Structure 1
Amino acid sequence: MRKTLRTTEHTHLVALLKQERQRVGLTQQEVAQRLGAPQSFVAKYEGGERRLDLVEFIAIARAVDAEPRELFDRLLGKF
């Protein structure tokens, strides 16, 4: 299996999470605070520099007040 950074699928994931953050009007700093992480964590995954695991995806979805299953279904629709 090839690495996932910078693939089309990874780009869709990054765009979806960034779109959801912006939809609810949160800054990267605010999401980071909700996650208990540094702002650079959000900047790196939104910039496509960092892969996310499923647990992180769920935490990020919840941090932006989204239902993880709904976001995952939207993401699957792009594949």
Structure 2
Amino acid sequence: MTSTLHDEEYRAFIIRLIALRKATGVTQAQLAARIGKPQSYVSKSERFERRVDPAEFRLIVLALGHDPAAVFAEISEHLRSSS
């Protein structure tokens, strides 16, 4: 089975999450503390070494102070317009 970690759309999804974290002014360590995980958890997610599932996406976006539905819609629109 082919790993989806390196799928072009998944990579674009994570890149948008990284941009959101940075735009919010939150470090990997700060985000990790907010979600109760080690910094390596965030780092591995951002380096495409572990997959972010929908529940984790929601937790991360809430920890960054944003609305998960709005962020998902933005990411979906970005993916739609780039394909």
Structure 1 counterpart SS, 2:20? helix
Equivalences, count: 79
Deviation of the 1:3 alpha carbon: 3.3
Question: What runs of 5+ residues in structure 1 fail to find an aligned partner?
Answer: none
User: What corresponds to 1:30 in structure 2?
Assistant: 30
Structure 1 runs of 4+ off > 2 angstroms?
A: none
Please give the per-residue CA displacement for 1:5-56, whole angstroms capped at 9, x wherever unaligned: 1111111111111001100111000000000000000001111111111100
Provide the TM-score with structure 2 as the length reference. Answer: 0.88
Aligned-pair Cα RMSD in Å? 1.4
Partner-residue secondary structure (3-state), 2:9: helix
Q: Distance in 2 between matches of 1:67 and 1:48?
A: 23
Q: Which has the higher contact order (CA 8 A, sep 6+)?
A: 1
Could you tell me which runs of 5 or more consecutive residues in structure 2 were left unpaired when the two chains were aligned: none
In 1, Cα distance between the equivalents of 2:73 and 2:58?
13
Percent identical residues:
35
2:15 & 2:57 partners in 1: Cα distance?
13
